[in-house]
Structure 1
C-alpha cells in the first residue's frame, strides 16, 4: 500500500512513503491541513524533518480550546485532540511549530492558502473551523472525524468489494468536485486521506497539499505578476531535485505531476482518485518501487496492469473506468470530476433522471416506521401533553389573577414560566449539547468586558425594579418552583426519551449508511429524509443531521409548495440563531482580517517595503481577501464549475500581489475621520446602554412614587373611564398647586427626588420614559452610527416630544403621539443598522 516504507535512497519529504513523519500517522484523525506536507521555502529555514516536536502545549495554551492530548507530530508541527470551549465540540487542533515563524514569506503563503481552504463546506470534505495565532504560532482547528481511513480498511481487511469501493470513491469525488469548482486542487488524493466516518460518510482530509493553480513563490514578490499555470512549489525542501519537482505522494501521483508540477490542474486529482479506486478493488497500489523516483518514473512511463487481470471479480466496465481515470495524458482522462461522478453513478445504477432519489417501497416503509416510532414514543407523547398543559394553566392563571386585580401574583406566575424555560434551556443544553445552547454560549464567550458590564447592569437594574415594587422575593420563590419543574422534566422524562429514541435513530442510521454505500449523494439522502418524514419532519431530521442541515433542507423541500403543509420545530430559535450568526461572522472576519494583515505586512517588510507602506498595502490585501471570501460564502453553488460575480478561492490567494499593488497606487484605505470617531464616542453602545439604564431607572422611580403597581391602584385604574393608562384617582395623589404639571394633567405627578430641583426630574412624567429606555436597549443588538443617531432621536421624541406643543384631539393624548412618532424613528434606525 501507499504507506509501505522504502529505503532512504532519496531525502524524501515526510509525507512521502518512507519519510520520517510517515511512520506514525493517526488514521482516525481527519484534518484539513497536512502539516507534514509543507517544507521550508528556498532553504530559509533548516530542514527539520528529523527535528523533535515542540514542547507539549498546556491544556489552556490556545485561547478558546482545551488541549486533551497529542495525536501526532510531523515536520510542520503537532496535531492535538482538543475541545473548542465555546461550542463544546471535539476538534483536531493543528499547531504549527514556532520555528516556522522565522520565514514571513512562507507564513503569509500558508495563511492565505489555509484561509482559502477554510471556505470549503461540503459533507464529503473535512471542514476547517478556525484559523488563528497564539503564543507566536499559527493554529488551525478542523472537524474531528472518528473513523478509519480507507487505507486502514484495506490493510486490515484486504481488497474491497467493487460496488462498495465505488461507493466510497464516489463520495470522495463529490467532495473533490466541490473543491475544484472553487478553484482548489488537492494534489495528494490517496486512501490515507479518505476518512470513513461511523455514519458511512467518506470525507476528503489532509488538504495540506491543496495548491491554487496560480501560486508561485514569485507571486509573493511585490509588484510581480505570474501566469495562471504556475505552481506552488515553494513548500519543497531545498534538497529536493529541483524547483519543478512534484509535490505529493509518489504511489498515487499523476504523470504530469511527476514530470512538471507547474502543469498540474484538477485532472491530476482525477488520476490520483483512479489510483485510489485501483488500490481499493485490487488490494495493492498501481505501481511498486523502492524509491520515490522509481515510483514517479513508473507513473509517468510504465503501462498500467488492468485491475481485472489482478482480481477477476472486478468487472471489465469498472476496469475501463479506472484505466481512463489513470490515463497517462491528462487530455485522455475524464475532463472534470463531474464526469467521473456521472460515470460511477451509472455503473452503480444510481440514475438521476429528475435530479432526485426515487426510493423503493420497502425503503420508504422501513424509514416511515422509524419516523412513527420516533414521534409516537409513549413518553414523548406524554411529555408534549404535560408541557402544553402546564404552560396553558400558568397563562390562564396569570390572566385570571390580572382580571381580579392580583397583578403581583400574575407577574410571579408569568415569571415562573420564564424562569422554568431558562432553567430548562441550560439543563437541556448541558445534557444534550444542543446546537442552540452551544451557539448562545459561543456568543456569550465572545462578549467584551464592556458588554458584560452592560449585561450585569441590566440584570442589577431588573433586580432593583423587583425590589422597589416589592416583588423580588415573589419572583425568587416562583423562580425556584420553575427551576424545580425544569429539573423534573429533564430527569424524569427527557432521559427516558433520549434512551428510547437513540435506538430508533441508530436503526435509521443503518438504513442511511446502506444508501450511502450504494452511491447515493448526501444531499439526496437528506432530501429523502425530509420528504418522507411527514408533516412534523423537522425534529426527526434535526436529530439525524443537525440544526443547520435542517434549515438548508427546508429551503429545498418547501420550494414550489410541492411538499404540502409542513410544520416547523421550535422556530423561535431561528431569529436568535440568525442574530448570533451575524455577530459571529463579523467577529470572525475581524479576526481574519487582522491575522491576514499581520502576515501580509511581515511578508512585504521582509521584501524591503517600508513599514507605513507595508501596513497600508497589507490592510488593503486583507480587506480584499475577506470581502471576496464573504461573497463566496453567500453565493449559491457554482454551475458547471463557474462562479460568476466573484473570484474563485485560487484568485483570493493568488491575487494578493495585485491587491497590494492596487493599494500602493491608490493610496491608503480610507480611515475614519476625527469627526466620525467623535460621533461614535457620543452614540456608541455603551453610551446608549447608560442612557437606557437612566431612563428605565427614572421610570421605575416614577411608578413607585405614584404607586402605579399596587393592586389598589391597578384596580382603580381599570375601573376608571377616560383616564390615562395608569391613572390613580385618589386625593393624596393629586399634586399640590406648586407641583409642575402639564396642561390637562390631573393624574400621576412627575418624578420628584428629595434634594433635587424639580426642573431636573419633571421630564419623567409618563410611561414613555421607560419605553424610550427599551428602544435604546434594543439598539444594542444593532451597529452603525446612522442607526444610533436615529434611535437616540426616537428615544428623545418618545420621552420629551409631548412637552413641546403637540396638539391632539380626545381621546388621543400628546404623549400617545410622542410614543408613536419616537417608535417610528427608532424602527427606521434599526432598519439602517447592521445586525
Structure 2
C-alpha cells in the first residue's frame, strides 16, 4: 500500500527521498523523516554528522557496517534499504518493514513524578517486547555486528505485534587492529556489553516509567520492584544481570539473557508448542470466515466470467478471421488486468507491485529510459497500425471496469474480511507477546488454519511467505500455478534485477571509501586505487555468498567482510580462479549476456511488434470494418441465417489469406531495404511475441533459444523454408530448447 504524505510536508528532496522533517540527533548523526517513492512508504534517512574526508578510516568502517546490515533479514530487525554518499557524508535509509502500530501518546513527564507505571498485563507485554528485542540483538551479535545506540525509541511495535529493533548503523564500529597477532573480535566485546546494558536500561524504563541511573548499583538505580511492585523478582534479576559486567555476575553474552527471558514468559519452541484447543478453534473460525466472505465468491465469479468470456470471444474472433476484433478484446483484457494491478497495488500493495514500483521509481537513468522507450515503441506500433485511437478508448473502458470492480467488489470484500483478520492478528499478537518466535507463529497459522488456511495466511503474511510454505502444505492448483509458479518467477526475476542494481551501487560507494581509507593510511595513490578496485568486488562476493546461505569465513559476516578488506584476493580466488582462456571465455559470456539480456530483448521485441503492425496495416490485414458484417446480420433476428453468416465469414477468411499471400514488404522512407527484409511475412509478429515473452527471464538458455527462434521466424522464408515450417520450427526452438537445457543441467 502506498501512503503518500501531504504535499505541504515535503520541503526538499535528498537521496531520492522526499524529506518531511528532522527527527533529531541519532547516534553519530541526525535522522530525518522521509518518504520513499520506490518503497511507497515512510522511511528514516540518517546522515552522518562527520564528513567522510575528515576521517576516511572511520567512514569506511561505518559504510562496511551499513553494507552488512543491508544483507541481514530478521523478523525483529528493521530493514536497511541502502546506503550512499550524500554531500560527502554517509547516508543510510531504513524502514521498519511493516505498518507501525498507532499508540496513544505518553503523558508529559513530570520532574517530580514518574510516568504511569505499567499494570500486570503491561508488565507481561513489556517483557515480551524485550524478548523480541533481545532476539534481534542476538541475531546481530551472531553476525558479528552490534547496535550501539539502543534506546526506548529504538523499539518499534508494528501493527501485527512484532517488535522491531530500529536505529541500525548509527554508531561506527570500534577501530580494528589490523597489525595485531590475533584478528579483531566481531562483535567487539565493548560494543556487545554496551548493547546488553542498553537493553537492560530500556526494559527498566518500560517497567518503572523512570530512567535508570548510570550504574546498576542500588544506590544509583533502585530495584524496579521497589518502584513497581508488579515487577517479578526474576525480571528484576535479568535487568541487573544485563547491566552488570560478566566478572560481577552479569550475562557474558546475549544468548543466556534470551534463554532467561524465554523461561520467564514461558516461551515454547516450535517443536514443543501445543496450542489449546479453544485457541485452535478460534483461529480456524477466523480462517473460515475470511475465506467464506460473501464477496469472495462474487469476486471469483466476476473475474472468471470476464476474463474467460472475453478470452473465448477473442479466440472465436481469431477462428472466424476477425483479427481486429480479437486484438481489441485481448487489449481490453490486458488493460483491465493492468489497471486492476495498478489500482490494487496503490491501495493495498502486493509483492509484484512493490517490486515493480521499486524497480521503476528507484531505478537508474537507463532503467527509466528502458520503460520510456517501451511505452514509446508500443504507442508507435499502435499508431502505425491505425489502432491508437480505438486502443486508447478501450484503455479508458478498462480503467473504468477496474475502478468499478475495486469500488463495488474489492472494497466490500475488504470490509467483510476486516473483522476476522483483525481478530486473527490479535490472536497472533498474543502469541508473539508470550514469546513464540516468528517461524513458530507462521507454523501455527499453517497447521491450525483448517482447510481454508490459505486466504487468511495470505492476508496476514503476504505472497512471499505463502510461497515459502508451499512445500509444507499442499496448495490448491490455481494458487500453485498463479502464485507459486507464475508470480514466483516474476518476483524472482525482479529480485535478481534489484539485487544486481544494489550490488553495483554498493560497489561504487565502497570502492571510493576504500581508496580514501588506503590513501589516509599513506598508501600510494595508484596502489590504493588498484587495491580498492579489488576490495569492492571482494566484499560483494562475500555478501552474495552469505545471502546464498554459505558459511562465512571467519565465523560470521562481519569477520568475513573484514578479512575481504585485508586480503581481497583470498575472497576472490573462488570467484576468479581461472586461466587466461577462462578469463577470455568469461568476458565473452559477459558481452553475450549484455547483448542478449532481457532489456535488449524487450526493446527489440517491441520494435518488431511495431513494425509488424505497420506492415499488417499497410497490407490491410487488420481492417477496421470487420465486425460490421456480424452486426448487420444480427440486426434482424427473425431473418438470422447462420449458414449465410458462416459463408460470409469463410469468404472473409479466404480473402484475408489471399491478401496475406499477396502481402508486400513494408514500405518506409527510413532504411527501406532493411525494413523490407524484416517485414514481409507474418514471421515478424511471431518473432516479436517470442522475444517479448522471453524478456521475463534472465536465463542464458532462454535468451539464446529465443533469439535463434526469432531469426528463424524472420529469415526462414527468405532462405527457402516454407512459411509454415519456419514458424513451427521457431516455436519449437523457443519452447523446447530451454526445457531440454534445464533438464540436462
TM-score, normalised by the number of residues in structure 2: 0.78
CA pair 276-93 structure 1, distance change in 2 beyond 3 A: closer
CA pair 163-491 structure 1, distance change in 2 beyond 3 A: closer
Q: Which residue of 2 aligns with 1:46?
A: none
Question: Which of residues 114, 125, 128 in structure 1 aligns to 2:66?
Answer: 114
Q: Which residue of 2 aligns with 1:351?
A: 268
Q: Which residue of 1 aligns with 2:175?
A: 216
Q: How does 1:91-106 map to 2 (within 5 A)?
A: 91-97=43-49, 99=51, 101-106=53-58
Deviation at 1:676, TM superposition (A): 8.3
1:373 is aligned to 2:316: no
Q: How does 1:1-80 map to 2 (within 5 A)?
A: 59-74=11-26, 76-80=28-32
Q: Which residue of 1 aligns with 2:163?
A: 202
For 1:319 and 1:447, the matched residues in 2 are separated by 50
For 1:432 and 1:118, the matched residues in 2 are separated by 25
Q: How does 1:506-655 map to 2 (within 5 A)?
A: 506-552=422-468, 554-555=469-470, 558-559=471-472, 561=473, 567=479, 571=483, 572-635=486-549, 643=551, 648-655=556-563
Q: Is the partner of 1:544 in helix, strand or coil?
A: helix
Deviation at 1:506, TM superposition (A): 2.8
Question: Which of residues 146, 152, 163 in structure 2 aligns to 1:185?
Answer: 146
Is the contact between residue 378 and residue 610 of structure 2 (CA under 8 Å) also seen in structure 1?
A: no
Q: Is the partner of 2:115 in helix, strand or coil?
A: helix
1:130 is aligned to 2:82: yes
CA pair 474-344 structure 1, distance change in 2 beyond 3 A: same
Deviation at 1:467, TM superposition (A): 4.8
Q: How does 1:395-406 map to 2 (within 5 A)?
A: 395-406=311-322
CA pair 165-151 structure 1, distance change in 2 beyond 3 A: farther
For 1:399 and 1:562, the matched residues in 2 are separated by 33
Q: Which residue of 1 aligns with 2:4?
A: none
For 1:634 and 1:408, the matched residues in 2 are separated by 49
1:156 is aligned to 2:115: yes
Deviation at 1:416, TM superposition (A): 1.7
For 2:44 and 2:689, the matched residues in 1 are separated by 43
Deviation at 1:116, TM superposition (A): 1.7
1:412 is aligned to 2:328: yes
For 1:617 and 1:566, the matched residues in 2 are separated by 53
For 2:337 and 2:622, the matched residues in 1 are separated by 25
- Determine which structure has more spread, i.e. the larger CA radius of gyration: 1
CA pair 800-216 structure 1, distance change in 2 beyond 3 A: same
Is the contact between residue 36 and residue 43 of structure 2 (CA under 8 Å) also seen in structure 1?
A: yes
| Gapped regions of structure 2 (runs ≥ 5) | 1-8, 630-644
Deviation at 1:655, TM superposition (A): 2.2
| Gapped regions of structure 1 (runs ≥ 5) | 1-56, 233-261, 290-294, 637-642, 735-746
For 2:375 and 2:598, the matched residues in 1 are separated by 17
Is the contact between residue 708 and residue 726 of structure 1 (CA under 8 Å) also seen in structure 2?
A: no
For 1:690 and 1:194, the matched residues in 2 are separated by 47
1:480 is aligned to 2:396: yes
Is the contact between residue 95 and residue 140 of structure 1 (CA under 8 Å) also seen in structure 2?
A: yes
Is the contact between residue 308 and residue 314 of structure 1 (CA under 8 Å) also seen in structure 2?
A: yes
Deviation at 1:486, TM superposition (A): 1.3
1:438 is aligned to 2:354: yes
Is the contact between residue 287 and residue 452 of structure 2 (CA under 8 Å) also seen in structure 1?
A: no
Q: Deviations over 1:456-500 (max 9, x none)?
A: 454444445445555444433333322221111122333333344
CA pair 230-384 structure 1, distance change in 2 beyond 3 A: closer
For 1:345 and 1:497, the matched residues in 2 are separated by 39
Q: Is the partner of 1:68 in helix, strand or coil?
A: strand
For 1:379 and 1:439, the matched residues in 2 are separated by 28
1:388 is aligned to 2:349: no
Is the contact between residue 398 and residue 411 of structure 1 (CA under 8 Å) also seen in structure 2?
A: yes
Higher helix share: 2
Is the contact between residue 605 and residue 692 of structure 2 (CA under 8 Å) also seen in structure 1?
A: yes
Question: Which of residues 719, 730, 738 in structure 2 aligns to 1:819?
Answer: 730
Q: Which residue of 1 aligns with 2:683?
A: 768
Q: Is the partner of 1:70 in helix, strand or coil?
A: strand
Q: How does 1:137-286 map to 2 (within 5 A)?
A: 137-144=89-96, 145=100, 156-158=115-117, 161=120, 162-187=123-148, 189=150, 191=152, 193-208=154-169, 216-219=175-178, 224=179, 227-229=182-184, 263-264=189-190, 266=192, 269-270=195-196, 273-274=199-200, 276-277=202-203, 280-281=206-207
Deviation at 1:760, TM superposition (A): 7.8
CA pair 665-438 structure 1, distance change in 2 beyond 3 A: closer
Q: RMSD in angstroms over aligned alpha carbons?
A: 4.7
CA pair 565-678 structure 1, distance change in 2 beyond 3 A: closer
Deviation at 1:93, TM superposition (A): 1.1
CA pair 402-824 structure 1, distance change in 2 beyond 3 A: closer
Q: How does 1:308-327 map to 2 (within 5 A)?
A: 313-316=230-233, 318=235
Q: Is the partner of 1:61 in helix, strand or coil?
A: strand
For 2:309 and 2:573, the matched residues in 1 are separated by 70
Deviation at 1:60, TM superposition (A): 3.8
CA pair 646-151 structure 1, distance change in 2 beyond 3 A: farther
Give the total of aligned pairs.
Answer: 698
For 2:259 and 2:371, the matched residues in 1 are separated by 55
CA pair 450-90 structure 1, distance change in 2 beyond 3 A: closer
Deviation at 1:659, TM superposition (A): 2.9
Q: Is the partner of 2:161 in helix, strand or coil?
A: coil
Q: Is the partner of 2:711 in helix, strand or coil?
A: helix
Is the contact between residue 62 and residue 169 of structure 2 (CA under 8 Å) also seen in structure 1?
A: no
For 2:398 and 2:275, the matched residues in 1 are separated by 47
Q: Is the partner of 1:125 in helix, strand or coil?
A: coil
Q: Deviations over 1:330-389 (max 9, x none)?
A: 59556654444344333333333x626322122223223333333333344433333333
Question: More deviation in 601-610 or 590-599?
Answer: 601-610
Q: Deviations over 1:599-620 (max 9, x none)?
A: 1111111222222221221121
CA pair 510-798 structure 1, distance change in 2 beyond 3 A: same
TM-score, normalised by the number of residues in structure 1: 0.71
Q: Is the partner of 2:324 in helix, strand or coil?
A: helix
Deviation at 1:589, TM superposition (A): 0.8
1:796 is aligned to 2:715: no
Deviation at 1:586, TM superposition (A): 0.7
For 2:554 and 2:273, the matched residues in 1 are separated by 32
Q: How does 1:640-789 map to 2 (within 5 A)?
A: 643=551, 648-659=556-567, 692=605, 695-704=608-617, 706-710=619-623, 730=658, 747-748=661-662, 751=665, 753=667, 761=676, 764-778=679-693, 780-781=695-696
Deviation at 1:111, TM superposition (A): 0.8
Q: Is the partner of 1:761 in helix, strand or coil?
A: helix
CA pair 475-534 structure 1, distance change in 2 beyond 3 A: farther
For 2:76 and 2:206, the matched residues in 1 are separated by 18
For 2:419 and 2:290, the matched residues in 1 are separated by 10
Q: Is the partner of 1:157 in helix, strand or coil?
A: coil
Question: More deviation in 124-133 or 460-469?
Answer: 460-469
Q: Is the partner of 2:78 in helix, strand or coil?
A: coil
